[in-house]
Structure 1
Amino acid sequence: MNRRSFLAATASLATAAIPTSAPALPSAVQPDEILTSQPDGLNPPGIRTAGIKMLPVVGGKYKVWTKKLGSGPIKVLLLHGGPGFGHEYLEALESFLPQAGIEMYYYDQLGCNNSDQPDDPGLWTLARYTEEVEEVRRGLGLEHFVLYGHSWGGILAMEYALNYQQHLRGLVISNMTAGTQSYLKRTAALKLMLPPDKLARLNALEAKEDYDSPEYEKIMMDDLYPKMICRVQPWPDSVNRAFRHANDKIYSQMQGKSEFLVTGNLKDWERWDRLREIKVKALTIGAQHDEMDPDDMKKMAALMPNASNAFCPNGSHLCMWDDQEVYFKHLLRFLHSV
C-alpha cells in the first residue's frame, strides 16, 4: 500500500483518536507559537505541528509544504533554487535568522521535495510558479513581508516583485542575474577553468548531447561544482540532500540538461529592462566564484531605485555555506534595516 492509500485508509481512525481540543500548554509557550488548528490535509487538527503547514495551490488541486521557524516582526519567505530543488540547502539560514529575531518560512515549490509532485509538464512554467508564490503568501497570511530568492528562486522573486510588489516590505535576490544571456556568458567563462583534457571531453559530450552520461556528470561533480557551486569540502549534508531529492523533470523542462546550455522555457527570460520598476527596498548578493557574475549583481542593484549590493569574496553559488560570515553579516543587516 502506498503512502497516499495508507493515509486515506487510516483517516477515519485518526480523526476518532484526536481530542476535540488542543492539550493544555505549558505556561512558557505563547499562543503565537501554535499553528492554526484548522485541518490542512497533512496534520490532524488541534495539535502543535512544529511550524509545518500544507497550503493549497493551483486553485486547491495540489498542496505545498511550508515550515515556520522563529518569531518576530520581520517575516521572510524563502524561495529555493533549481528549478526542481527543495528548501534543504537553505537550512544554513536557520542557524542565523531566528536567533536574530527574524521569522522565516521554508517553502518547497510544487513538484519539489515535501510538496505534492504531480506528473504534469504543463505546471512547470514561470507564470504558474509566480502565481503559486502569491497563493502561498495568502495561505500563510503574510503582508508587508520580505521575499528572499536564491538562484532560480531569485528569478521567481523578481517576477513576484514585478506583479505583486504591494505586498512586499523588502526583496533579497541572492546569486541570480537578471537574464539568461548574462548567465550563459558567465558559465561559458567558468567552463574554461577545466584542464584542457577534461574541457575537450566535456565539449565532445555536449556536442553529442550526451548530458546524462556518467562521464559528463563526473566532470561536473568532481571538477566544476566544487569550484562554482559550493567550495566547502565535503559538502554539508543539507546540500547533498537537496541534490539527492532534486526533481530532474522540472529542471530539464525549465532549464535544460546542462548548466551551460539553457534549452528549457527559461531560455528567453530577460528582465534587465524592468528592474527599474522594482521600487521596494532590495538587496542583491553576489560571490567571487559564483556561476553568476557578481558584477551583474552590482549592476542590478544600481538599476533598482532602492537597492544595495553585497559581495562575498570567498563564496560561490552557495555562499551562505562557503562564505557564511560575510553572507549573513550583510543579509542580517539588510533584514533589520527594513
Structure 2
Amino acid sequence: MGDYLKITEGYLPFRGYQIYYRIVGDRQSELTPLLLLHGGPGSTHNYFESFDELSRQTGRPIIMYDQFGCGRSSIPDRPELWQASTWVAELQALRTALDLPAIHLLGQSWGGMLAIIYSCDYQPQGLKSLILASTLSSAQLWAQEQHRMIRLMPTSEQTAIAEAEQHHDFTGAAYQAANQHFMTQHASGPVTAADPEFLQRPKRTGTQAYQVAWGPNEYCPTGTLADYDYTDKLRQLQVPTLVTSGTDDLCTPLIAKTMVDQLPNATWTLFAHSRHMAFIDEPTAYFARLQRWLAAHD
C-alpha cells in the first residue's frame, strides 16, 4: 500500500476527563475498521503500534486508545472508577464519538475481558468479528493456572511468591525478582535497546487502575474483577470469534480451550513460540493469520 501511513491523533471527552485515541490509516477505506482494546487494566496502547504495519500493508483502518486511567488519557485519583462498567461506558462513548457503526474488535488480556463483557452484556451492533487475544473467561481459572506454572519454578522463587501472598507484602526483593522471572517467561521481558521505539518509549502505566481492578500481580485477582466469570455466557456469542494465544502464555492452552469450547462460532490459533503478546513475539505469523481472518469476515 506504499510507505505513507496516515496517523490521526486526538482526544475525546468522557465524564469530564479526556481519552486519547490514535487512528492508523484512512477512515474512508471500504475495509471495516479494527478497534483494539489493550490489556492491564492500565497497560496503554503503546504495544499496539506494532499493528501499524498491518494497516500499511492492507489499507485497513486501525483504531487504538489509552483507556481511562492510563497513558495519555486522564489518570484521576479516583479508585471508585476502576471497574468494568466504567471502561464499557468509555468504549461505547468512543464508538459514538468516532462514528464506528461497524468494527472488528480485538481485545488482548484484560482488553479481551472487556470485549467479552461488552459483547455478552450489551449486545453491541455492528460487530463483524471478535478477536480474543491471550485473554480469559474466568479470573479464578486464570489464578489457578498461574499458580500451576509457578509450581514449575525453582523452589526458592516459589517460596518468595508464596510468602508475599501469605503476608500481602509484595515489596520484597526476593518476591520482585521471582515475579519478574515469571513475567519474563510468560508475558514479556525487560525492554532492551533492540526493541521497537514504541516499546522503549516511556509510558504512564495505570498502576492504580490495575491494582484496584485486578490486584498486585497476575496471579492474585483481588480487585473489582476478582469475581469475573463469563465462561457460561460465552455460549450466547454468535459472532465469529478468533481466539489466539501462545504456548508459553499467561493464557495457557487450558484457559484458551475453556473459551473455545463454549463459543459457538470460534476458531483457535496457538502460536508455538509466543508468550502473552504473540503479535510482539511472532509478528509475521500473527499478522498473516489476523489479515486472513479479517478479510474472511469483513
For the pair 1:65 / 2:20, whether they are aligned, the reply is yes
Q: Which structure is richer in relative contact order (CA contacts within 8 A, separation 6 or more)?
A: 2
Contact 2:191 2:200 in 1 (8 A): no
Shift of 1:103: 0.6
For the pair 1:298 / 2:257, whether they are aligned, the reply is yes
Contact 1:97 1:332 in 2 (8 A): no
Structure 1 residues 240, 226: CA separation in 2 closer, same or farther (over 3 Å shift)?
Answer: farther
Aligned length: 286
For the pair 1:185 / 2:185, whether they are aligned, the reply is no
SS, match of residue 62 in structure 2? strand
For the pair 1:118 / 2:91, whether they are aligned, the reply is no
Using the size of structure 1 for normalisation, the TM-score is 0.80
Cα deviations by residue, 1:39-90 (Å, 9 ceiling, x for unpaired) = xxxxxxxxxxx401211223xx112000110133220111000011100122
Matches within 5 A, 1:104-143: 104-143=62-101
Shift of 1:303: 2.0
SS, match of residue 198 in structure 1? helix
Out of 206, 216, 238, which is 1:247 matched to?
Answer: 206
Amino acid at match of 2:116: M
Contact 1:165 1:280 in 2 (8 A): no
For the pair 1:206 / 2:165, whether they are aligned, the reply is yes
Shift of 1:281: 1.5
Matches within 5 A, 1:237-276: 237-241=197-201, 245-276=204-235
Alpha-carbon RMSD across the aligned residues, in angstroms, is: 1.9
Question: How far apart in 2 are the matches of 1:257 and 1:209?
Answer: 9
* Aligned match of 1:26: none
Rg larger for:
1
Shift of 1:186: 1.1
Shift of 1:240: 4.9
Question: How far apart in 2 are the matches of 1:267 and 1:241?
Answer: 31
Question: How far apart in 2 are the matches of 1:102 and 1:256?
Answer: 36
Worse-matched range after superposition: 138-147 or 295-304: 295-304
**Unpaired segments of 5 or more residues in structure 1?**
1-32, 34-49
* Aligned match of 2:114: 156
* Aligned match of 1:54: 11
Amino acid at match of 2:291: L
Structure 1 residues 74, 323: CA separation in 2 closer, same or farther (over 3 Å shift)?
Answer: same
Out of 322, 325, 330, which is 2:281 matched to?
Answer: 322
Out of 247, 266, 276, which is 1:288 matched to?
Answer: 247
Shift of 1:198: 2.1
SS, match of residue 326 in structure 1? helix
SS, match of residue 90 in structure 2? helix
Cα deviations by residue, 1:112-170 (Å, 9 ceiling, x for unpaired) = 10011111112111012111101000011001111110000000011111213323111
* Aligned match of 1:144: 102
Out of 179, 188, 197, which is 1:220 matched to?
Answer: 179
Cα deviations by residue, 1:286-308 (Å, 9 ceiling, x for unpaired) = 11000112233233233222221
Question: How far apart in 2 are the matches of 1:100 and 1:177?
Answer: 29
Contact 1:288 1:315 in 2 (8 A): yes
Shift of 1:282: 1.3
Using the size of structure 2 for normalisation, the TM-score is 0.90
Shift of 1:255: 0.7
SS, match of residue 283 in structure 1? strand
Out of 30, 34, 43, which is 1:76 matched to?
Answer: 34
Contact 2:235 2:264 in 1 (8 A): yes
